[in-house]
Amino acid sequence: MLKVYDTELRSRLLLGTSRYPSPAVLVEAVKASRAQVVTVSLRRESSGERAGQGFWSIIRDLGVRVLPNTAGCHSVKEAVTTAQMAREVFGTTWIKLEVIGEDDTLQPDVFGLVEAARILSAEGFEVFPYTTEDLVVAEKLLAAGCRVLMPWGAPIGSGRGLNNLFGLKALRAHFPDVPLVIDAGIGVPSHAAQAMELGFDAVLINTAVARAAHPAQMAEAFAQAIDAGRAARLAGPMEPRDLAIPSTPVIGKAFLG
């Protein structure tokens, strides 16, 4: 079980709901993924891209928990206001906090992120911050009231996987008891399995599933990869070596004179 903010989840796959070809395809993907949490952008859904109440009805019928996000926000004020609106719309204190600082990479503005996290935590929100793998930023987010961290693997929608293995390993080692969810940049199931093998607690995926030729099949593949990666982590994988070790012992080998 994965425990986040006193809520226990069986699935370690969180799924985004944007950019699917149709609501029907989204429903198939969520079911195939076995995800219990889906992210929804208040801004996107309010813009007319979705069919209003029909979309909410679909999400409710799936029986999943909604994690609203502040996607597209570039300032503390904008993010805080969006979070407050999301709490009213969805009736939840959960919020995936995004404060974007750079348009090309969608890298988070970590200074604004910490400030917004502090404000929202004081207002009773349970904040899931989209952040980098920076240890100092992580410390400040935890001090601001966050109890979960969501470091990026790579820029949002890039599909590049885990760009900074050293930084991500250091983050996992430095915060062994904090739930860490890889968010952004995951492109294929092997990326998700790698994140789980490194000891991360869950993975959030959107574009890699939504833009696949067959989203439901890809969602199922990600679910299997996350299960496999988690099992491998618990099994205790071997450490890599620079030199070879023969798998067959030399004892009993015939020696020719």
Average pLDDT over residues 36-46: 77
Given a contact cutoff of 8 angstroms between Cβ atoms, the answer to whether 156 and 106 are in contact is yes
Single-letter residue type at 130: Y
Query: Which residues are annotated as catalytic?
Result: 96
CB neighbour class for 203 (10 Å; exposed up to 12, middle 13-18, buried from 19): buried
Residues 6+ apart with CB under 8 A from 220: 32, 33
Structure tokens that stand for 46 in this block: 């309010």
Query: Considering the entire predicted model, what is its pTM?
Result: 0.90
Higher-confidence position of 3 and 42: 3
- Note the pLDDT tens digit of each residue in 131-167: 999 999 999 999 999 999 999 999 999 999 999 999 9
Q: Across the chain, how many H-helices and E-strands are there?
A: 10, 10
- For the cut 50, the answer to whether the pLDDT of residue 101 exceeds it is yes
- Phi, psi dihedrals of residue 76, rounded to the nearest 5°: -60, -45
Given a contact cutoff of 8 angstroms between Cβ atoms, the answer to whether 73 and 83 are in contact is no
Helix (H) or strand (E) holding 94: strand 94-97
- For the cut 50, the answer to whether the pLDDT of residue 47 exceeds it is no
Give, in order, the Cα–Cα distances in Å from 147 to each of 19, 89, 95: 29, 23, 12
Percent of the chain with pLDDT over 70: 92
3-state secondary structure at position 46: helix
Ramachandran category for residue 199: left, alpha or beta (phi over 0 → left; psi -120 to 50 → alpha): left
- For the cut 80, the answer to whether the pLDDT of residue 257 exceeds it is no
